[in-house]
């Protein structure tokens, strides 16, 4: 099936992989795409013929990225007190979610990406609250309560985040 994919299909898969790995300092988009292809080819992920192949591949990548997030979250808990700025040059949560076990190059790259993401949403209280809450592992209800936003505002902020990140990745600003 992979050999019959069009260039547009490959671009869609690349774009989706980039979206799914934004903020994942321990997984590159190419690695995510290759892992998904490997799982399909090895048979560990079976393609239901009723689902379009591109949709199936995107679901596979979403699942793999979620596995990485869950594994990393289980290994490293972030307390709310760790997210609060502690000094003049400390921006808070974005500086703290970088894994200390990464090599200096990947850590610098991750810090740069997180700084760019923070800048994208610096004037959007709801979006920053959603991102912070998700990074902290909070539920949507907890995020809404903490940020004093309604479920509709929460859903709208999620859409703004998704669209803004998608546009920034497409324009290679992230």
Angle, helices 140-147/125-136, rounded to nearest 10 degrees: 140
* Same domain, residue pair 107 and 32: no
- Cα separation, 73 vs 157, whole angstroms: 23
* Same domain, residue pair 162 and 102: yes
Give the percent of the chain with pLDDT over 70.
Answer: 78
Three-state DSSP class for 154?
Answer: helix
* Same domain, residue pair 96 and 157: yes
Domain that holds residue 97: 83-170
- Cα separation, 85 vs 91, whole angstroms: 6
Local confidence band at 79 (pLDDT 50, 70, 90 cut-offs): very low
- If one counts the domains in the chain, the total is 2
Q: What confidence tens digit (pLDDT) does each residue in 155-164 have?
A: 999 999 988 9
Which of 43, 75, 107 marks a domain boundary?
75
């Amino acid at each position: 099936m992979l050999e019959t994919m069009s260039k547009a299909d490959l671009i869609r898969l690349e774009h989706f992989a980039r979206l799914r790995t934004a903020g994942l300092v321990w997984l590159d988009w190419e690695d995510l795409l290759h892992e998904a292809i490997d799982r399909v080819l090895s048979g560990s992920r079976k393609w239901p013929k009723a689902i379009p192949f591109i949709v199936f591949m995107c679901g596979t990548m979403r699942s793999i990225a979620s596995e990485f997030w869950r594994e990393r979250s289980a290994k490293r808990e972030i307390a709310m007190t760790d997210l609060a700025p502690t000094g003049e040059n400390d921006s808070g949560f974005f500086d703290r979610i970088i894994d200390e076990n990464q090599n200096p190059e990947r850590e610098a790259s991750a810090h740069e990406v997180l700084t760019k993401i923070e800048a994208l949403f610096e004037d959007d209280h709801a979006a920053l609250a959603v991102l912070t809450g998700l990074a902290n592992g909070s539920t949507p209800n907890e995020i809404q309560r903490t940020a004093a936003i309604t479920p509709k505002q929460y859903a709208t902020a999620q859409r703004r985040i998704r669209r803004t990140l998608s546009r920034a990745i497409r324009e290679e600003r992230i």
